Structure 1
Amino acid sequence: MASYFEDRSLEDPIHSRTKQQQGSHRAVLNPDLSAFMPVEETEDRSNRGPSSSPHTSDNFNRPPSPGDFRRLAEMFGAFRAREDAVGDEVHQEFLDNLITQLMDEAGASGKTGPPPAAKSFIRDLPIVHLRDVKREEACVVCNEHFHESSDQLSITRLPCKHAFDRDCIVPWLELHNNCPACRAEVPSDDPDWIRKKREAELAKYAAEAEMDQDWMYS
């Protein structure tokens, strides 16, 4: 299956990165994601309390830029390159769809996509302990099994019950207020999203009230 970049005759930034590294096969199987993460991500997790987050920097004080979407697309592209080696076609297609969406949003300056998740939602993402994760369960984004790769503070779960490594899901939530797997929405601070959500709830209540009234007088 051709990738987003191959379909558009563009140079794949992930392949160009791995060509510059020694031992390219090993680099694909274990992509270095440090270039895609905020500086705070490199801090020792043992110094971080359950309610603290590495994503409480000035990133929250500005709207997403096209570069933010491209960097996340490159991060997912690193996982996509690894899937080429292990041959997981289902996960390859999943990542291709995410990369396509991110690159389309980058070209549209992010104006056509969903808003970022609420700062408080990201800050309060729950910590899921290994004892509460099934042995075969893997991160939806990177596809690595938690029991083989995660530490006690790295696993989280969205309200839709999909589980992720924090390093994988937080960059997505900083750009989108939904689950990348099932698109279930999470709260956002975006005023347009809040207004539309309130209007939808009022319309729902009005429809339910009208149905109750029709039933009473029918």
Structure 2
Amino acid sequence: MASYFDDHSLEDPYKAQRANNNNQGRSLNPDLSHFMPREDDVDDYNGRHSASRSTTGASGPGATDFHRLAEMLGAFRVREEPLGDEVHQEFLDNLITQLMDEAGASGKHGPPPASKSFIRDLPFVPQTDVKRDEACIICNENLHENESNAEITKLPCKHLFDRECIVPWLELHNNCPACRAEVPSDDPDWIKKKRDAELAKYAAEAEIDQDWMYS
């Protein structure tokens, strides 16, 4: 299966790592320390110290933020080659394509970041509540066997993730990377859009009720 870089005629920054994987077989989780918080970014999370990273500035995410997450997903993509889950590889390719497009866009583009309070309050899901064969949608690691011992969390759509995988995505997008279900955002334009949609819905329902009364 062709990679994202092959499909887009781009230089593959993971060529050397891919060759190493081919010689040694499927590797363990890549080192995510580059994408994870610094010590001074760590915040209290439901009584535990956990990642609460903020890489974005006051004006919102920049191209570097999108490139960083694309690199993280690319590391997961390379880890699965040459033999891996082709459906998951295609899923990662689609996310990488979206991120690269967003990095190259000018001005506001795509969904806004999830709200800081939503990310802070992501629920903790104990392993006992997770099926034995359940895997993180992003890294594709079994949630019972992940050697990083990452906290398991889930979005309102019920999709499960390692917290260290989903937080970088939520810091750029207020939706689930799998089903695209939206979560709250602090973005003023998004808040106005949601409010206008609710007002339009209430107006439509009121009009229907009025028509029913006089029919």
- Report the equivalent of 1:217: 214
Structure 1 distance, partners of 2:119, 2:86, is: 30
CA shift for structure 1 position 24: 6.8
**1:76-121 deviation per Cα after TM superposition (whole angstroms, max 9, x unaligned):** 0111112223321110111010000000000004722100000000
- Report the equivalent of 2:192: 195
- Report the equivalent of 1:72: 69
For normalisation by structure 1, the TM-score amounts to 0.87
The answer to whether 1:50 aligns with 2:46 is yes
C-alpha change, 1:167 and 1:153, in structure 2 (3 Å) is closer
The answer to whether 1:183 aligns with 2:176 is no
Gaps of 5+ in 2: none
- Greater share of helix residues, 1 or 2? 1
C-alpha change, 1:121 and 1:203, in structure 2 (3 Å) is same
- Aligned residue for 1:182, secondary structure, equals coil
Structure 1 distance, partners of 2:84, 2:187, is: 39
Letter in 1 for 2:46: P
Structure 2 distance, partners of 1:145, 1:198, is: 39
Gaps of 5+ in 1: none
- Report the equivalent of 1:30: 29
Letter in 2 for 1:15: K
Structure 1 distance, partners of 2:64, 2:32, is: 16
C-alpha change, 1:110 and 1:167, in structure 2 (3 Å) is farther
Is the Cα–Cα contact under 8 Å of residues 34 and 42 in structure 1 kept in the other structure? no
C-alpha change, 1:42 and 1:194, in structure 2 (3 Å) is closer
C-alpha change, 1:28 and 1:114, in structure 2 (3 Å) is same
Structure 1 distance, partners of 2:27, 2:41, is: 21
Letter in 2 for 1:38: P
Letter in 1 for 2:95: L
**1:45-78 deviation per Cα after TM superposition (whole angstroms, max 9, x unaligned):** xx95525642255646451010100110010011
- Report the equivalent of 1:127: 124
The answer to whether 1:91 aligns with 2:93 is no
Output the aligned Cα RMSD.
2.8
Is the Cα–Cα contact under 8 Å of residues 36 and 53 in structure 2 kept in the other structure? no
CA shift for structure 1 position 28: 4.7
- Aligned residue for 2:207, secondary structure, equals helix
Letter in 1 for 2:5: F
Within-5 A mapping of 1:131-210? 131-149=128-146, 154-210=151-207
- Report the equivalent of 1:8: 8
- Report the equivalent of 1:81: 78
Letter in 1 for 2:187: D
- Report the equivalent of 2:100: 103
Deviates more, 1:106-115 or 1:132-141: 106-115
Letter in 1 for 2:168: P
Structure 2 distance, partners of 1:64, 1:140, is: 23
Deviates more, 1:72-81 or 1:61-70: 61-70
C-alpha change, 1:205 and 1:42, in structure 2 (3 Å) is closer
Is the Cα–Cα contact under 8 Å of residues 127 and 153 in structure 1 kept in the other structure? no
For normalisation by structure 2, the TM-score amounts to 0.88
Is the Cα–Cα contact under 8 Å of residues 155 and 176 in structure 2 kept in the other structure? yes
C-alpha change, 1:24 and 1:125, in structure 2 (3 Å) is farther
Identity of paired residues, percent? 68
Letter in 1 for 2:9: S
